[in-house]
């Protein structure tokens, strides 16, 4: 009952069964302690002249989660104006938010952006057009801007999560940077921050190369910049064979390079990072029940059908991402865990409940359905997925097959279980539809 699922987490099989009695499956369960520990680790990253850590809230935008993270002193990296407004609803002031978006501020959005910038929101221009649209306002109000530079080099766990190379269009590419800066100068716009984000789950080697590249173009192009933002992309290890970013080592490297920059130029740059994954990924569990068991005959597969598949965690389908599986019996025993090799294991494919052949939680990065090894559960036992704190609740097609968005539960540090997001109901799902009759 008391064996922890992950060594760093407080979640035990007993907590899973207790939560499932109170709130029926499927649901997300977050561990407050993991989030706080991760925030502490991030804040301890070595740096020479100050460090600001912001949380990339697209990884998890639930209000209570934002409040925990803001309470630890992290600021917010927002990907849209709505994210800025949502962070504000969680009690976070605009001057603690940096907006880095693909959106282009026009009409109503433009008014909102300008109002928020006057209240302290920092705006990271990501294209020439964004710069052209905001330049006069920024210059007139003496609001310094930030520029996201496309460094031409990136890294990610998969091609579609690489945001720095030629396949992605995030930021102002180095090939047009002189044009952008010429325009900014003509308008009297000042850049206080230089920003690069190379991609999610990036390779630490590429992270280091980008520190060098970014310091290089900061020296060459941004004489006024006082802040260097290295983006997110700090890798987390969800599975036993994955490796996590070494915050101390990456920080030590950045520190050395920023000190050398200071020796060369006399300029002291404040360092910023904006992790999403690293802050929250391991805090979240997706708790599902095994509803059915089937097989596809000789030479086929044995299937476990669970009540939360692609509509609760799209990462396997989108990226072939693997999440650790924990099989918990309905009376609260851990039958198998990804990190505890005990017990008899068999091979299963885990399918969700959507009428969609890709609705499988066991896919590889070529989109092939693959088996995973675990204890055989009985119907009504629980299959729990770890590593579901980032890009699960925020990135899934909840209403596909008319399933309703699932609730979110928080395990507080004192052991209390609290509901932080109610389940959506069917009436809410259809409330904006307009009937013909
Ligand atoms: C998504 C994103 C991040 C966070 O990336 P992680 O891989 O989750 O750390 C940081 N900065 C920007 C601009 C992003 O778009």
DSSP-derived 3-state class of residue 96: helix
pLDDT reported for residue 203: 75
pLDDT at 126 over 80: yes
197 lines ligand 1 (CB under 6 A): yes
Atom of ligand 1 nearest to the CA of 200: 7
* Chain CA centroid to CA 327, Å: 25
Lowest mean pLDDT among 61-70, 280-289, 365-374: 365-374
Tell me the CA–centroid distance for residue 56 and ligand 1, in Å: 5
Question: How far apart (Å, rounded) are the C-alpha atoms in residues 67 and 73?
Answer: 10
Q: How confident is the model at residue 166 (pLDDT cuts 50, 70, 90)?
A: confident
Cross-strand partners of 346: 374
Average pLDDT, the chain: 94
Is this prediction's pTM over 0.75? yes
Q: How confident is the model at residue 198 (pLDDT cuts 50, 70, 90)?
A: confident
Q: Which residue of 59, 229, 234 sits with most ligand 1 atoms within 8 Å of its CB, as the best mutation to test the pocket?
A: 59
pLDDT reported for residue 247: 95
54 lines ligand 1 (CB under 6 A): no
pLDDT tens digit string along 69-124? 999 999 999 999 999 999 999 999 999 999 999 999 888 899 999 999 999 999 99
Question: Helix crossing, 81-89 with 63-71: angle to 10°?
Answer: 70
61 lines ligand 1 (CB under 6 A): no
Overall average pLDDT of the 3-20 stretch: 95
pLDDT at 275 over 60: yes
Atom of ligand 1 nearest to the CA of 391: 8
274 lines ligand 1 (CB under 6 A): yes
Q: How confident is the model at residue 163 (pLDDT cuts 50, 70, 90)?
A: low
pLDDT at 397 over 70: yes
pLDDT at 1 over 60: no
Q: What percent of the chain has pLDDT over 90?
A: 85
408 membership: H or E segment, kind and range: strand 408-411
pLDDT at 156 over 80: no
Q: Which residue of 161, 276, 395 sits with most ligand 1 atoms within 8 Å of its CB, as the best mutation to test the pocket?
A: 276
Kindly list the distances between the CA atom of residue 359 and the CA atoms of 114, 195, 305, 312, 315, in Å, as whole numbers in the listed order. 42, 37, 10, 10, 11
Tell me the CA–centroid distance for residue 162 and ligand 1, in Å: 11
Instruction: Tally helices (H) and strands (E) across the chain.
Output: 12, 19
Looking at ligand 1, which residue's alpha carbon is closest to its atom 1? 56
Tell me the CA–centroid distance for residue 45 and ligand 1, in Å: 17
Q: How confident is the model at residue 151 (pLDDT cuts 50, 70, 90)?
A: confident
pLDDT reported for residue 170: 87
276 lines ligand 1 (CB under 6 A): yes
pLDDT at 425 over 60: yes
Cross-strand partners of 125: 147
DSSP-derived 3-state class of residue 291: strand
Structure tokens at 165: 């190379």
pLDDT at 380 over 90: yes
Looking at ligand 1, which residue's alpha carbon is closest to its atom 15? 79
pLDDT reported for residue 30: 98
Looking at ligand 1, which residue's alpha carbon is closest to its atom 10? 232
Tell me the CA–centroid distance for residue 361 and ligand 1, in Å: 24
pLDDT tens digit string along 237-255? 999 999 999 999 999 999 9
pLDDT at 200 over 70: no
pLDDT reported for residue 205: 84
Overall average pLDDT of the 22-46 stretch: 98
């Amino acid at each position: 009952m008391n064996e922890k699922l992950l060594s760093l987490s407080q979640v035990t099989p007993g907590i899973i069964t207790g939560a499932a009695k109170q709130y029926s499956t499927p649901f997300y369960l977050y561990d407050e302690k993991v989030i706080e520990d991760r925030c502490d680790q991030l804040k301890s990253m070595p740096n020479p002249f100050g460090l600001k850590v912001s949380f990339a809230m697209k990884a998890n935008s639930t209000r209570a989660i934002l409040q925990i993270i803001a309470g630890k002193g992290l600021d917010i990296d927002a990907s849209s104006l709505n994210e800025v407004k949502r962070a504000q609803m969680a009690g976070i002031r605009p001057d603690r938010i940096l907006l880095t978006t693909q959106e282009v501020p026009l009409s109503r959005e433009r008014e909102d952006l300008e109002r928020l910038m006057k209240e302290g929101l920092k705006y990271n221009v990501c294209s020439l057009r964004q710069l052209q649209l905001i330049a006069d306002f920024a210059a007139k109000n003496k609001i310094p801007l930030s520029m996201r530079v496309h460094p031409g080099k990136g890294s990610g766990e998969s091609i579609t999560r690489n945001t720095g190379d030629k396949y992605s269009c995030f930021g102002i590419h180095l090939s047009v940077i002189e044009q952008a800066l010429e325009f900014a100068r003509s308008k009297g716009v000042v850049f206080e921050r230089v920003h690069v984000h190379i991609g999610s789950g990036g390779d630490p080697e590429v992270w280091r190369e980008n520190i060098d590249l970014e310091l290089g173009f900061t020296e060459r192009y941004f004489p006024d910049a006082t802040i260097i933002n290295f983006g997110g992309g700090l890798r987390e290890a969800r599975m036993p064979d994955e490796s996590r970013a070494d915050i101390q080592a990456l920080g030590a490297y950045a520190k050395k390079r920023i000190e050398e920059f200071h020796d060369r130029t006399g300029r002291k740059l404040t360092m910023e990072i904006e992790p999403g994954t690293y802050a929250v990924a391991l805090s979240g569990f997706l708790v599902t029940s095994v509803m059915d068991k089937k097989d596809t005959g000789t030479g086929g597969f044995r299937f476990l059908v669970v009540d939360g598949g692609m509509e609760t965690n799209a990462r396997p389908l989108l990226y072939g991402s693997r999440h650790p599986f924990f099989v918990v019996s309905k009376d609260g025993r851990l039958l198998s865990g990804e990190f505890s090799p005990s017990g008899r294991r068999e091979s299963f494919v885990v399918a969700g409940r959507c009428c969609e052949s890709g609705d499988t939680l066991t896919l590889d990065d070529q989109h092939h359905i693959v088996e995973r090894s675990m204890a055989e559960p009985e119907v009504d036992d629980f299959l729990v997925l770890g590593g579901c704190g980032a890009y699960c609740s925020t990135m899934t097609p909840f209403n596909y097959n008319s399933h309703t968005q699932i609730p979110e539960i928080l395990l507080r540090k004192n052991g209390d279980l609290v509901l932080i997001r109610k389940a959506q109901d069917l009436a809410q799902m259809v409330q904006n539809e307009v009937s013909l009759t």
